[in-house]
Amino acid sequence: QVNSEHCRHKIFNGKFIIDGEEKELSLFQLIKRTSQVNPNNLISAYKDNVAFVQGPLIEQFAPASGDKPDFFRTKEVESVLSLKAETHNFPTTVEPFNGAATGTGGEIRDRLAG
């Protein structure tokens, strides 16, 4: 797994030579640059395969106090959304069954680790 594209991004971080000319940035650097140029509501990205963006104000129904039994009430809270586009079915060429077996557990781990 340590040699897979999933772990090392050999292709996305590789040098690209097109028509004999080496490109200044790798594909991964080009992708990351979009977030640097237009961060907008981005909180965190490119840390363990998950990104977080500022979400909308939402209405939360919860106990009025978090440290003792209390009545429930609604209040507005700021939300954070996590975005993930990975299926965790890789490294299929190295270890297809165990790679796919990470499944939902791997996705949850990435969101918590991000």
Residues 6 or more apart whose CB falls under 8 angstroms from that of 98 comprise none
What's the whole-number average pLDDT of the chain?
A: 79
User: Band of the pLDDT at 25, cuts 50, 70, 90?
Assistant: very high
The burial of 58, by beta-carbon neighbours within 10 Å (0-12 exposed, 13-18 middle, 19 or more buried), is given as exposed
Q: Give the tens place of pLDDT for each residue, 63-95.
A: 999 899 999 999 999 999 987 765 554 555 566
Q: Where are the domains of the chain?
A: 5-113
pTM: 0.56
The DSSP bridge partners found for residue 22 are 17
pLDDT for 43 equals 92
Mean pLDDT score, 25-34:
87
